[in-house]
Amino acid sequence: LKSIAVMTSGGDSPGMNAAARAVVRTALYEGVKVWGIRDGYHGLLEEDMFEMQSKDVGDIIQRGGTFLGTARCKRWKTPEGRMLGYQHLVDRGIQGLCVIGGDGSLRGASLLSQETGIPIVGLPGTIDNDVWGSDYTIGCDTAANTIIDAINKLRDTASAHRRVIVMEVMGRSSGWLALVSGISGGAEYILVPESPFDLDKICEDMKAAYQEGKRYILVVVAEGAGSGQEIGDYIAQKTELDTRVSVLGHIQRGGSPSVIDRVRASQLGEQAALALISGLSDIVFGFSKGRVVSIDLHDSVNNKKKLDPEYLHLAKVLF
């Protein structure tokens, strides 16, 4: 192809900038025109796009968020909306599109490709690490590190006061962030939507642990497993232990991307641009066992990723 475009869509994640930058610079290196679309599918429908030069992606690799902007777009869920977006690409001679976003964004991309045949390559951009076929999504490493930072601080104060700390982290349908940050933060309990738990039994165990001299207990809850506040209230009422709840919220989305997110996002962006330029389509690039892999776009959106059973086991063993 001779002209491609790139957008970021859905929730922002640290490293999206590095990915978009790599798409743009790889395309230019290969002598291909590259357009930036602002604010995801919304911007495509509003024709908010511009042809990009190398300097347009200067000074962004270290920034969180996405310089292209992102948005949720209801009209993209209709065939008419997607057809209009396709027309706006065709009007500019754009022959292929790279969509960087979470599973919803990739689903929108998969429908566009099926309905119009335009070549599409997706990159998994979400802190949730919930895209099927890939061990990794752009931003998950930075978000996990942000959570660990908070856990370290909470542990200091929890220990001083002999408290139970319940910390709610992001993950509506995926417990990956809770699981890895719980393991690396040394949490006693990690509650995730993928695996059932018995809160009454946990409360009994907590009381017994305190009687044996335990100084504090950390519970990490993925938002999809329940509200941190409600779980904290329940624990306080059942155990009568001094219990505090912390909801980390949108802080998890921000921050300068980690080295891992910058390098991996750059690798994925390069592969996405090269694939589009050579006419490939319906691919998501991700990582498996530390290496870049290509995944079928439709398989990726039609399957639900499972939590790594080895991590789940480790969390049990190290408790």
The site for ligand ATP, by CB under 6 A, has a size of 18
Interface with ligand ATP (CB under 6 A), residue from 7, 21, 32, 41: 41
* Dihedral sign (CA 312, 102, 283, 258): negative
Between 12 and 188, whose beta carbon lies closer to ligand ATP? Answer: 12
**Is 252 annotated as contributing to ligand binding?**
yes
Nearer to ligand ATP, 123 or 235 (CB): 123
Query: Of these, 28, 48, 60, 72, which contacts ligand ATP (CB under 6 A)?
Result: 72
Question: Which of 12, 39, 128, 141 does the annotation list as catalytic?
Answer: 128
Of 4, 23, 66, 103, the residue at the interface with ligand ATP (CB under 6 A) is 103
Say which residues have a Cβ less than 8 Å from residue 228's Cβ, sequence separation at least 6: 166, 167, 168, 221, 245, 246, 247
Q: Are 257 and 266 in contact (CB under 8 A)?
A: no
Q: What is the CA radius of gyration of the chain?
A: 21
Please report which helix (H) or strand (E) contains residue 116, including its range: helix 103-116
Binding of ligand ATP at residue 104 (CB under 6 A)? yes
Q: Which of residues 234-253 bind ligand ATP (CB under 6 A)?
A: none
What gap in Å lies between CA 311 and CA 318, rounded to an integer?
10
Tell me, letter by letter, the H, E, C secondary structure of 129-147. Answer: CCCCCCCCCECHHHHHHHH
Distance of alpha carbon 102 from alpha carbon 124, whole angstroms: 6
Report the alpha-carbon distance of residue 277 to residue 84 in Å, rounded.
23
- Confirm whether 261 is a catalytic residue: no
Distance between CA 286 and CA 133 in Å, rounded?
7
Q: Of 3, 26, 126, 142, which one interacts with ligand ATP (CB under 6 A)? A: 126
Per CB under 6 A, 124 contacts ligand ATP: no
Scanning 136-241, the segments in alpha helix (DSSP H) are: 140-161, 176-185, 199-211, 228-239
105 binds ligand ATP (CB under 6 A): yes
- Contact pick of 6, 10, 38, 248 for ligand ATP (by CB under 6 A): 10
User: Which segments are annotated as binding site for ATP?
Assistant: 11, 72-73, 102-105
User: Which segments are annotated as binding site for substrate?
Assistant: 126-128, 163, 170-172, 223, 244, 250-253
User: What residues line the site for ligand ATP (CB under 6 A)?
Assistant: 9-11, 41, 72-73, 76-77, 101-105, 107-108, 111, 126, 128
Enumerate the active-site residues: 128
User: Which segments are annotated as binding site for Mg(2+)?
Assistant: 103
